[in-house]
Structure 1
Amino acid sequence: MGFFKTLLRRKATVPAKASACVSVDASRSASGNAGAVSLKDIAASVTVLETVPAVPVSLVNGGKLGADETSVFKGWVSDPATFHLYDLRDVVLDRSLMVFLKDGKPVLETAYVQDPAAVAALEVRPQDLITVPDDTSPAAICCDHWDSNYYHWLSHTLPTLHALRITKHQNARLMLPPHMRAWQADTLALSGFDVTQGLPLENGKQYAFSRVLYADYVRGAGDFSVSPLSRAAYESLAATQPSTGPRDLRIFIERGPASNRRIPNEAELTAALQARGFLCVRAENFSAAEQIQLFKRARLVVGQLGSGMANCVWCQPGTVMFELVAEHHQNPCNLLMGMQAGLLYWGKLMPTGQQTDDHIAQSEKPLDIASVLRELDQIEPYLPPV
């Protein structure tokens, strides 16, 4: 099924190299281009933030239930990696691609899931160039080009903010999305940053910096590594919200109106889970604080690949995460978010009728709801106590 199945076969059989899969293409391009420049080459200084080992996934009952059920991602191992904060000088940022240029050359390591042809064609455009004035506090990049996506904000921005805090750059001027969502402003405030001191970056423009801070988390280098720094970032935000009740919730995250990866009979699944006492939610209807409060109370979280599942980082350790995994897009990004929080994982493969790896395509087959309920029954003994 394309890239992710290749990745999973590799992880199940051999130790992973120290790179996140979303950064592999850019890293290989850089190594194969004699004229390429690296972040370390152009940084005035480099701070090592953390070095993390490979970690095997923690699955419900070791990944086996009954006689026939086996969890998706059984045998999966996270990537070992070292993460850095770079102090860059005299660089240009292309806002649309969120790729840096140094002396007119793209810094390929910063090309997070970008078309290689578009990156290769990138050059400084004087008519679109805006010079960011110097200040007593350095500028800092805190988000990728998918800055309106909740998962990307949680996985890339929040660890970057924590890295800035622990390196004593709490007063850094954040380079922000042009149109801040309420949950973005909320999480910035909860992280201790003043959104009014940031600079919104406009798509189509380029920005010249005499100095700017950039962390590896922004470029997705930690997407498939278990990072204690990321976990500390989530725990610090979760600690800002008081408990609103006991740890007694079974939560189902609906896709609702989202067109990507929709299953045709989700409404039937919602009804079946509600009949079993599940709280069925659409996470986008809650504020950032409400999402944190809600998921801190979870014993079990069920859902498909999607930004709502990123809320598992607010769950308490030992919570069970039950993911419905489309056969045409077996992406372990939610699994990794659960590993950051110390959760137990169960992945149920959903036959979809799609034959090619595609993170957008809808399922052509209805979900076997009876089998979902049967596996939920088997998982029940592994839930943490109320």
Structure 2
Amino acid sequence: MRPTPISLPDDSVILTLASPGFDAGYPRVVNSELIPQSILQAMEWAWNTPRFPERAVRVARLKDVWVAREGLVFDQKGDLYRETITQHSEAEIDQAHAAVLAAIGQGGRAAEPDTAGPILLCKKRGIGNYGHWMMEMLPKAHLVHTHLPDLGVRFLVGLAPGHLNDSMAFSLSMLGIDLARTLVADDTPLRFADLLLVDGLSEHGGFMSPLVLDAAEAVARSVTPGGADRLFVSRRTTGIRRIVDEDDLIGLALSHGYRLVEPDALSLPEQVALFKGASRIVGVMGAAMTNIVFAPPGARVVNLTPAGMPDTFFWFIATLRGLDYTEIRCAQSGPVRGVMPWDTDLILSLQDRERAFAG
């Protein structure tokens, strides 16, 4: 049985902020002819929007609700707050709904709710992705921590892999949030007497509020910029979305004065320092390139991108940050090595290799 979608009640909203409007321009895309038409159309509606108008960002306070899987929130009847659906598939929603109904009905009575005080929902679809955390979940924590300090809020975060878990902890601490006030949760349904949620900061692929930059700027505020002016961000240790003959590409990058960066080997403060000090950044599209949010306005960013990857996430970051942004779309080669069809090896032509590092 599919859950009934419901909206946040007007009387649940305890804070409304104005997210400023902003101008945007069509990105500089090299090899756009390689992009399948259906993929291009999925991106162009955002790319062709010259002005994103002011909109409201709301903080709502809900009583006696369930949180399941990656941040889906249900009321005591099992109805689903539509504002918490963030790229969840129908199957994921159905599984969460079934788990919540089972929890409500166990033994003829519901589980006892968490009554330790208000807790903020800081988990959504994409818990295991650094970019989703930094640009879509962490900003919620910063907003509530900044604007509602007297509530004594706790923070509900997702269970993430080890390296990402470290980055999540670092980022919260760098915002001045006591890690003792965090609750780490897996997919199991949990009942809360007092839950806060933030709505309107982002819609993955469709919108990103300028307010998300406040969290990044707070994280970076006390970090001294690194000494490398030029960075080449590699994904070779991930095993997916690797450049064919990347060793040669690394040699070319080094010859142009670029420093090789493999973010998985660095702590969050080390990553922030490097990107904060860089004016030229080249990298393969992936979570680590989220760090361009720490680059100074005007920095030149070249994102090496699978031809068939439908993504506006990094374009939004570059637009809000005022970066000189280029995507070089790359032909895809070989088998799919990850979970998505664009998780293949990438072919970067000799001309595009020179173009990426020129200047």
Task: Spell out, residue by residue over 1:226-264, the C-alpha distance to the aligned partner (whole angstroms, 9 max, x if none).
Answer: 42311121111111212444xx51111101122332332
1:112 aligns with 2:86: yes
Counterpart position of 1:173: 154
| Partner secondary structure for residue 339 of structure 1 | helix
Check if 1:98 corresponds to 2:74. Answer: no
Q: Structure 1 residues 355, 85: CA separation in 2 closer, same or farther (over 3 Å shift)?
A: farther
- Between the aligned partners of 1:131 and 1:319, the Cα distance in structure 2 is 52
Q: Paired residue for 1:37?
A: 6
Which amino acid in 2 is paired with 1:234?
A
Partner of 2:234: 254
Structure 1 residue 79 displacement after superposition: 4.7
**Please, which runs of 5 or more residues in structure 2 have no aligned partner?**
36-42
Task: Name the amino acid aligned to 2:247.
Answer: A
Deviations 1:140-171 (A, max 9, x none): 11122432321111011221122112322473
Match of 2:179 among 195, 210, 213: 195
Q: Is the 8 A contact 1:304 1:325 kept in 2?
A: yes
Q: Which amino acid aligns with 2:234?
A: E
* TM-score of the two chains, using structure 2 as the length reference: 0.81
2:40 equivalent in structure 1: none
How many angstroms apart in 1 are the aligned matches of 2:147 and 2:222?
21
Distance 2:21 2:340 in 1: 28
* Cα distance in 2, alignment partners of residues 131 and 337 from structure 1: 41
1:184 aligns with 168
| Deviation of 1:57 (Å) | 2.9
1:337-364 Cα distance to aligned partner (Å, 9 max, x none):
22232211111121225899x8453446
User: The residue matched to 2:230 in structure 1 has which SS?
Assistant: strand
Equivalent residues of 1:322, 1:347 under 8 A apart:
yes
For 2:6, what is the secondary structure of its paired residue?
A: coil
After TM superposition, give the deviation of residue 90 of structure 1 in Å: 1.8
How many correspondences in the alignment?
Answer: 333
Question: Is 1:212 the counterpart of 2:185 in the alignment?
Answer: no
Is 1:370 aligned to residue 338 of structure 2? no
Corresponding position of 1:157? 137
Partner residue in 1 for 2:57: 83
1:308 — aligned with what? 288
Counterpart of 1:50 in structure 2: which amino acid? A
| 1: CA distance, partners of 2:315 / 2:285 | 10
Query: In the TM superposition, what is the alpha-carbon distance from 1:274 to its structure 2 partner?
Result: 1.2
Contact 1:303 1:323 in 2 (8 A): yes
Give distance in 1, aligned partners of 2:29 and 2:200: 33
Alpha-carbon distance in 2 for matches of 1:361, 1:370: 22
The answer (yes or no) to whether the contact 2:19–2:210 under 8 Å persists in 1 is no
The structure 2 residue matched to 1:53, chosen from 6, 21, 29, is 21
| Counterpart-to-counterpart distance in 2, 1:140 and 1:327 | 38
CA distance in 1, matches of 2:173, 2:269: 11
Change in 2 beyond 3 A, CA 1:222/1:49? farther
Q: What is the CA deviation profile of residues 25-81 of structure 1, one whole-angstrom value per residue up to 9, with x for unaligned ones?
A: xxxxx9xx9x5211246x62242222343521375xxx489xx999x9895437544
Distance 2:124 2:32 in 1: 37
Task: Name the counterpart of 2:222.
Answer: 240
Larger mean Cα displacement after TM superposition, 260-269 or 308-317: 260-269
Distance 2:292 2:257 in 1: 19
Change (3 A) 1:222 1:276: same
Counterpart of 1:134 in structure 2 is: 115
* 1:146 maps onto 2:120 in alignment: no
Deviates further, 118-127 or 266-275: 118-127
Tell me, in whole angstroms, the C-alpha distance in 1 between the residues paired with 2:334 and 2:56.
Answer: 37
Distance (whole Å) between structure 2 residues aligned to residue 172 and residue 324 of structure 1: 40
Q: Aligned pair in 2 of structure 1 residues 329, 255: CA closer, same or farther (>3 Å)?
A: same
What SS does structure 2 have at the residue aligned with 1:134? coil
The correspondence of residues 282-301 of structure 1 with structure 2, limited to 5 A, is 282-301=262-281
By how many angstroms is 1:283 displaced? 0.9
Task: Tell me by how many angstroms 1:194 deviates.
Answer: 0.8
SS in structure 2 opposite 1:352?
strand
Identical aligned residues as a percent: 21
Q: Is the 8 A contact 2:67 2:189 kept in 1?
A: yes
- State how far apart, in whole Å, the 2-side matches of 1:294 and 1:313 are: 12
1:305 deviation in Å? 1.6
In structure 2, C-alpha distance between the alignment counterparts of 1:217 and 1:270, rounded to whole Å: 40
Distance 2:213 2:330 in 1: 29
State which drifts further: 206-215 or 82-91.
Answer: 82-91
Q: Which amino acid aligns with 1:212?
A: L
Aligned residue for 2:5, secondary structure, equals: coil
TM-score, scaled to structure 1: 0.76
What code does the residue aligned with 1:38 have?
A: S
